[in-house]
Amino acid sequence: MLKTLIITLLLAVIVSLFSGLFFLIRDGGKTNRVINSLALRVALSVLLLLVILLSLWQGGLTLNPTP
């Protein structure tokens, strides 16, 4: 469940990245859609980081101590 949430958030960040690129090419940066895409991408990235940190803190994810 937790790993599925992390993968979903990561995919949402990637989709937001490419939608921002699409809006930049299509609109030429004249509208606010690129800025909105950037804001969404930053918010999703912060949420992803918080989910990972919380799951590490609570023991849902563990670090691999051996290479």
How much is the pLDDT for 50?
Answer: 96
> Each residue of 19-43: pLDDT tens digit?
999 988 998 778 888 899 999 999 9
Check pLDDT > 80 for residue 67: no
> Each residue of 49-66: pLDDT tens digit?
999 999 999 988 888 878
Check pLDDT > 90 for residue 7: yes
How much is the pLDDT for 60?
Answer: 87
Beta-carbon contacts of 1 under 8 Å, excluding residues fewer than 6 positions away, are: none
Q: Which two tokens stand for residue 25?
A: 């090419």
Question: By C-alpha distance, which of 61, 17, 8, 55 is closest to 39?
Answer: 17
